[in-house]
Amino acid sequence: MTALSTDTPTKPTHSPAELREKQDRRRAMGLLTPGLLWMSLFMVLPMCMVVYVSFWTQTTFAVESTLTTASWERFLSSSTYLSAIGTTLRVWAIVLVATVVVGYPVALFIGLFVRNKTFQTALLVACVIPFWTSFLIRVIAWRPMLGTEGAINVILMKLGIISEPLTFLLFSEFSVLVGMTQIYCVFMVGPITFMLGRIDPSVIEAARDLGASFGTIFRRIILPLSLPGVMVGSIFVSVMVLGEFATAASLSGRKVNLLGNIIVSQVGSLKWAFAAVAGVVLTIIITAVIALALRIVDLRKEM
């Protein structure tokens, strides 16, 4: 043991506590460095690159690093691209509301009304299972469902409710909204169920004993306690919907152009600077949405 006394710090200015703290901090930093480095190099740097290239000069098939605002001017003066911003925001807002409206009652049932743990878990698993099918397959699955000869039209015609197939179902904004709502709804159901599951049933029991109606209990207890779940779910859904392009590409028949689709098509025609402008606009929108949400809910605490 005596040989180890060489390790003992001799600097009188630092107490052992300070040295230990320093050592712990150094260890934490050491463990964290590879991850942070990875994120800086492969996420932050590319994002900076997007902003940078948005000011480059676009030639027919290439970009040059001469700085200009030409791409920005073209983007902001084009009604096509400005309407893409509008479409993106509209689709985002509708899907967000739709996921809450569709998902909340389900979360309410699973989180609050099902008291059997096994059944609760089974229902949650049932919600998650579709995720083991490829995302793209799940998108494409809406085509035979909504098409003019798709399942819904066939059923409705067999039932005699309609005589002509409904054509607005597929290759329209409607199909994009339905597809996105179905795919992203679970991200709303999950967090809300989690929050509702944390409500002590005896609180509701007590309120009921005091003669509170379900409406009052819902307004005073259930809704406030589930709001953080709604916020977390909203962050998930927003981030995914705003960056979407595949659903629109597959189900809208090119009728719906989101910012994501603009980026993809611009990259396809090698208009890098232009894609970058759309990317920066998208980044600004997403940052604003997340910043707003984080102002309302502390993500670190809720996780």
Partner 1 sequence: MLTLSRVSRRYGETTALDGVDFVVPENTYMSLLGASGSGKTTLLRLIAGFEEPDQGEISIDGERIDGQPPHLRDIGFVFQNFALFPHLTVAQNVSYGLRYRANAPVSNENEIKDRTESVLSLVGLSGFGHRAISAISGGQRQRVALARTMICEPRVILLDEPLGALDANLRARMCDELKAIRERLKVSFLHVTGSETEALTMGDKVAVLSGGKIVQSDAPDTLFSHPNNVDAARHLNAWNIFEAGLCGPAMGQGTVAVRFDQIDVSAEGEVPDGRPWLRAKYLTGEFNGPTALSFFRAEDGTLLQVIDHLSQPRLPDMVEGQHYDLHFAPDAARQFHGAA
Partner 2 sequence: MQSRILRPTLAIYTAAFLLFLYGPMIVLAILSFQSSDGGPQFPIRDWSIYWYQHLLGLTETSRVSQLPVGDSLLRSILLAFMTTVVSTILGVMSAEAFRTKFKGSGPAFYLIILGMMVPGVLVGLGMALLSNTLGIGRAWWGTSFVLHVVYTYPFAFLVMLAIFNRFDRSVEEASLSLGVSPAQTFRRVTFPIIFPGVLSAMLFSFTLSYDEFSRTLFTIGSQLTLPLAIYGTFSVEIYPNIFAFGVLTTLFSFTLLVIYGLLMKRFTAKAARFKGQEEN
Q: Which of residues 249-278 bind partner 1 (CB under 8 A)?
A: none
What is the length of the chain? 303
Asked whether position 132 contacts partner 2 by CB under 8 A, the answer is yes
Could you tell me how many residues of this chain bind partner 1 (CB under 8 A)?
Answer: 13
From CA 194, how far away is CA 198, in angstroms rounded?
7
For 25, 30, 73, 273, the CA distances from 36, given in Å and listed in that order, are 15, 10, 35, 28
Binding mask 200-239 for partner 2 (x = CB under 8 A): --------x----xx--------------------x---x
Asked whether position 116 contacts partner 2 by CB under 8 A, the answer is no
- Least Å distance, CB 25 to partner 1, is 13
Please identify which residue in 89, 94, 102, 199 interacts with partner 2, judged by CB under 8 A: 102
- Least Å distance, CB 28 to partner 1, is 16
From CA 86, how far away is CA 236, in angstroms rounded?
21
Asked whether position 61 contacts partner 2 by CB under 8 A, the answer is no
From CA 107, how far away is CA 124, in angstroms rounded?
9
Binder of residue 224, out of partner 2, partner 1, none (CB less than 5 to 8 A by kind): none
Asked whether position 137 contacts partner 1 by CB under 8 A, the answer is no
- Least Å distance, CB 26 to partner 1, is 14
Binder of residue 134, out of partner 1, partner 2, none (CB less than 5 to 8 A by kind): partner 2
From CA 3, how far away is CA 7, in angstroms rounded?
8
- Least Å distance, CB 113 to partner 2, is 5
Using CB under 8 A, which residues numbered 3 to 42 contact partner 1?
Answer: 4-5, 7-9, 15-20
What does the radius of gyration of the chain's CA atoms come to, in whole angstroms? 26
Binder of residue 72, out of partner 1, partner 2, none (CB less than 5 to 8 A by kind): none
| Residue 189 and residue 103 in contact, taking contact as beta carbons nearer than 8 Å | yes
- Least Å distance, CB 10 to partner 2, is 23
For 76, 119, 134, 194, 266, the CA distances from 126, given in Å and listed in that order, are 45, 10, 16, 15, 39
Residue whose CB is less far from partner 2, 6 or 12:
6
Tokens 């710090």 belong to which residue?
A: 9
| Residue 192 and residue 103 in contact, taking contact as beta carbons nearer than 8 Å | yes
| Residue 152 and residue 193 in contact, taking contact as beta carbons nearer than 8 Å | no
User: For binding to partner 1 (CB under 8 A), which residues are involved?
Assistant: 1-2, 4-5, 7-9, 15-20
